[in-house]
Amino acid sequence: MAVVACLETARGTGVSGKFGESFTFTRKWIVRVDSPLTPRTLISRAPGIAFGAGHPDFSNHKAMEFDCTEESGDGMMWSITVRYYIPPVDNTPNPSTGMPVDSWSGSGTTITIPVFEDKDGAKIVNSAKDPLEGAERESSEFTLNLTKCYADLSWSPIAESQSNTVNSSTWNGSPARTWKVAFKSASKKEATSSSDDTTKSYWETTWEFCYRAETWDYKPWDVGFNQLVDSSGTPTAGGSQRAAVLGADKKPVKAPVALSSGVAKAAGSAPDALTFKLYKETDFTVFGTPG
């Protein structure tokens, strides 16, 4: 039970289209076998076209559907019809793996975030240089969503090590620590291969990437009621002890004062913002490049 001959024919072929949609190209082959019991899957593979293979004239149109139809009445002659069109973004097959290729999409939302500087980088303080606590602004948060398939559970350690981390270097054209990734879901899928008789299992995973131009660092004001002092009580950045900051009346201050390297700044000085890296940094190249 084998394929004896396979010949592409012009009969029954053509192209169709509709405004705003992909063209659909049709190719057809006539297949002759030596036995009517020849497996239909073997017959359907005779043209050598796998799901996701590009059309010879329009490579962005992929082989997405096929029909195998008996032609001679005795099971010895068959026709194979393959239809090519531009695949849906979230269901483009990779001929070499049998799994869908990576799929990216984007979305946006508006959130409220703390703010310490204005659009020009000037610190937000009152006319007496005191920080204005509780200042907030609206921020448009841009999100990328990735659907990525894996042949096995190799996605699991990636999810464990990379979820809730930020990019360690430039990614998607943006500086380090501006993108934060979160693992969202994983589900096991199955697909029948068009190049052999097997059913392929794979894992479909989804990931979310959130962007913040000001980075995901935490930046509170460097203010407080205490400062660093040495053993004699003298304020110094290298001090190993702490003491209350005293006002002009030599009594502990009743409002937080601006600090620099752990020591109170001169009265009336504007505060600086501290920077804390709350999220672990990882290499985002494991997710590929959005596109």
The pLDDT of residue 114 is above 80: no
Residues 198 and 249 in one domain: no
Q: Which residue has the tokens 């999810």?
A: 159
Domain hosting 55: range is: 3-87
Question: How many structural domains comprise the chain?
Answer: 3
267-287 mean pLDDT: 91
The pLDDT of residue 197 is above 70: no
Is 159 domain-assigned? yes
Residues 200 and 182 in one domain: yes
Determine the pLDDT at residue 144: 97
Determine the pLDDT at residue 50: 87
Is 98 domain-assigned? no
Joined together, the tokens standing for residue 143 give 């999100």
Residues 161 and 140 in one domain: yes
Joined together, the tokens standing for residue 215 give 């980075």
Determine the pLDDT at residue 30: 96
Residues 163 and 135 in one domain: yes
The pLDDT of residue 126 is above 90: no
Q: Give the residue among 103, 115, 209 at the shortest CA–CA distance from 147.
A: 103
Residues 82 and 132 in one domain: no
Is 273 domain-assigned? no
Is 93 domain-assigned? no
